[in-house]
């Protein structure tokens, strides 16, 4: 199997020189890939997908990820490695990214796709295998090269993942250096140099990395923090909603930015909804247990790394919950009304679900804004309802990119087989979240477009057509 040369940052030579070497190899690989037609590009993308989708590898990388990072669980990561990759491959096989990708004869326009260059892909510890493959597939679809900057905790998993991708590329006769990974030990300066020297930076993970990418001087795309609130209104199918919330909440032990972090239940059906959530596997903490959760989950104002993304049975003991909590899948803490000064309003990255109650939809909108103004603005909200107008109102009034209706949020927000969103592991939050995209990251963000512009019949309306209505109303 092809492996990337193990250059160590402790060897002679600065971080700047190390990155210069990686970028040089990336550009050489791109030159060999430059004349690939669409079929060859799609073959390369498929090779990358198979690098992680192959069952034995999906399982191996999932196990390694949990061992390396201590975050999440193996079964969920296997699903993430396969489902996200499969969906992304489906999307990419249906679109053009080489040569002419669109012709608009009525406008005299022909659009040509071209590479953006060497992509720096910063990836998080929560997805040290799936995210690198996802970004590599997007990058290669645009005939670019990609250099992965993993989190230090995920370096071992990401390096093995990259080596699998390189081997698959070489198996089909393409240069392995189209996909590279930073050498050990990964540090901030090495990642910063990669941001500085690349042609495009894509950041998924810490908001500190997002800010550093935007200040690097290189065009950058970063994604915002998640803190997803989901509503259960009086018309919802309570058991269906509870099952979906549970399935989404417990997936990979809530490491996903799309995991439900709070729910808002309408007063009139509060007890019914709570009962359904209990049937689905939820446990309601009493007042004393709630305080233990808060005291344990946060240390000096920061999330306790020894608690986040842990299994439910571990949390029962860590939080010192009643023995009745054993066997529960997630843990609910009741807050009444959203309080911006409570830590429970923020993203928790754990199997703890904050529960609020609202008088009506006006109150729902108010509390949603309170929650999202603390964290998560721009990302997404969800609602379980049988009143389309309730979902429409959220889409019209809440500053988020996605409003999911009657869906398990984690499985729908990053693309689903039963919705129209692009499969991705990076969700843009628009300017609300300090992001440059209000879309699911996809291949279009990895191509430049040249417009061939031809003359057409003159399209110049008269002054009367353009100004007539204004003149009649306000005069000339």
- Report whether pLDDT(168) > 80: yes
Compute and round to an integer the Cα radius of gyration of the chain: 24
Instruction: Map out the domains of the chain as residue ranges.
Output: 15-223+441-452, 228-415
What does the alpha-carbon distance between residue 342 and residue 104 come to, in Å, rounded to a whole number? Answer: 54
Q: What residue ranges in 117-235 does DSSP mark as E strands?
A: 118-122, 145-149, 179-181, 200-203, 220-222, 228-232
* DSSP 8-state assignment for residue 219: -
Q: What residue ranges in 343-438 does DSSP mark as E strands?
A: 352-358, 378-384, 400-405
Is residue 67 very low, low, confident or very high in pLDDT (cuts 50, 70, 90)?
very high
- Report whether pLDDT(46) > 80: yes
Place domain 15-223+441-452 in its CATH homologous superfamily: Aldehyde Dehydrogenase; Chain A, domain 1 (3.40.605.10)
Largest CA distance in the chain: 79
Query: What mean pLDDT comes out for the span 357-366?
Result: 98
- Which positions are annotated as active-site residues? 257
Share of the chain above pLDDT 70, in %: 98
Is residue 224 very low, low, confident or very high in pLDDT (cuts 50, 70, 90)?
confident
Segment 110-130, tens digit of pLDDT: 999 999 999 999 999 999 999
Q: Which residues of 86-106 are buried (b: 16+ CB within 10 A; e: fewer)?
A: ebbbebbeeebbbeebeeeee
Is residue 13 very low, low, confident or very high in pLDDT (cuts 50, 70, 90)?
low
Q: 2 or 419: whose pLDDT is higher?
A: 419
Is residue 208 very low, low, confident or very high in pLDDT (cuts 50, 70, 90)?
confident
Query: What mean pLDDT comes out for the span 301-312?
Result: 93
Is residue 10 very low, low, confident or very high in pLDDT (cuts 50, 70, 90)?
very low
- Report whether pLDDT(207) > 90: no
Is residue 205 very low, low, confident or very high in pLDDT (cuts 50, 70, 90)?
confident
DSSP states along 234-284 = TTS-HHHHHHHHHHHHHGGGG-STTSEEEEEEEGGGHHHHHHHHHHTTEEE
- Report whether pLDDT(366) > 60: yes
- Level-2 CATH architecture, domain 228-415: 3-Layer(aba) Sandwich (3.40)
Query: What mean pLDDT comes out for the span 330-338?
Result: 98
What does the alpha-carbon distance between residue 119 and residue 201 come to, in Å, rounded to a whole number? Answer: 6
Which CA distances in Å does 159 have to 6, 156, 184, 283, 394? Answer: 10, 5, 9, 39, 42
Is residue 12 very low, low, confident or very high in pLDDT (cuts 50, 70, 90)?
very low
Is residue 368 very low, low, confident or very high in pLDDT (cuts 50, 70, 90)?
very high
- Report whether pLDDT(6) > 60: no
Segment 247-265, tens digit of pLDDT: 999 999 999 999 999 999 9
**Contact present, 425 and 127 (Cβ < 8 Å):** yes
What does the alpha-carbon distance between residue 434 and residue 429 come to, in Å, rounded to a whole number? Answer: 7
Tell the burial category of 114 from Cβ atoms under 10 Å away from its Cβ (0-12, 13-18, 19+). Answer: middle
pLDDT at 3 (0 to 100): 77
Segment 377-418, tens digit of pLDDT: 999 999 999 999 999 999 999 999 999 999 999 999 999 999
pLDDT at 4 (0 to 100): 76
Q: 41 or 224: whose pLDDT is higher?
A: 41
């Amino acid at each position: 199997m092809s492996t990337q040369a193990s250059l160590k940052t402790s060897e002679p030579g600065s971080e700047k020189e190390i990155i210069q070497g990686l970028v040089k190899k990336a550009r050489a690989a791109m030159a060999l890939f430059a004349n690939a037609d669409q079929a060859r590009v799609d073959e390369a993308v498929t090779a990358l997908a198979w690098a992680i989708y192959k069952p034995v590898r999906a399982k191996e990388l999932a196990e390694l990820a949990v061992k390396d990072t201590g975050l999440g669980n193996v079964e969920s990561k296997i699903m993430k490695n396969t489902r996200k990759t499969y969906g992304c491959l489906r999307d990419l096989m249906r679109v053009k990214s080489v040569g002419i990708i669109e012709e608009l004869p009525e406008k005299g326009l022909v659009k040509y796709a071209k590479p953006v260059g060497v992509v720096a892909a910063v990836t998080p510890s929560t997805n040290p295998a799936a995210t690198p493959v996802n970004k590599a597939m997007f990058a290669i679809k645009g005939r670019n090269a990609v250099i992965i900057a993993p989190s230090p905790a995920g370096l071992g998993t990401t390096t093995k993942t990259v080596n699998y991708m390189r081997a698959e590329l070489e198996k089909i006769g393409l240069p392995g250096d189209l996909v590279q990974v930073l050498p050990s030990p990964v540090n901030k300066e090495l990642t910063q140099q990669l941001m500085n020297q690349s042609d495009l930076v894509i950041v998924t993970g810490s908001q500190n990395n997002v800010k550093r990418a935007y200040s690097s001087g290189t065009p950058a795309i970063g994604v915002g923090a998640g803190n997803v609130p989901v509503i259960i209104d009086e018309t919802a199918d309570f058991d269906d909603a509870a099952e979906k919330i549970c399935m989404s909440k417990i997936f990979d032990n809530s490491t996903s930015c799309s995991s439900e972090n709070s729910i808002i239940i309408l007063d009139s059906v509060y007890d019914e909804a709570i009962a359904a959530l209990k049937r689905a596997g939820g446990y309601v903490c009493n007042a004393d247990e709630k305080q233990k959760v808060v005291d344990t989950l946060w240390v000096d104002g920061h999330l306790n790394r020894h608690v986040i993304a842990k299994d439910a049975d571990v949390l029962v003991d860590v939080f010192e919950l009643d023995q009745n909590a054993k066997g529960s899948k997630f843990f609910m803490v009741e807050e009444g009304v959203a309080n911006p000064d409570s830590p429970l309003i923020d993203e928790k990255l754990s199997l703890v679900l904050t529960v609020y109650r609202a008088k009506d939809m006006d109150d729902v909108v108010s509390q949603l804004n309170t929650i999202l103004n603390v964290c998560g603005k721009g990302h997404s909200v969800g609602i379980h309802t049988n009143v389309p107008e309730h979902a429409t109102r959220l889409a019209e009034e809440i500053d988020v990119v996605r409003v999911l209706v009657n869906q398990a949020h984690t499985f729908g927000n990053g693309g689903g087989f039963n919705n129209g969103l692009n499969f991705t592991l990076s969700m843009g939050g628009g300017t609300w979240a300090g992001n440059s995209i209000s879309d699911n990251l996809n291949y279009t963000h990895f191509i430049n477009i040249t417009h061939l512009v031809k003359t057409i019949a003159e399209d110049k309306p008269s002054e009367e057509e353009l100004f007539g209505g204004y003149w009649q109303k306000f005069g000339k």
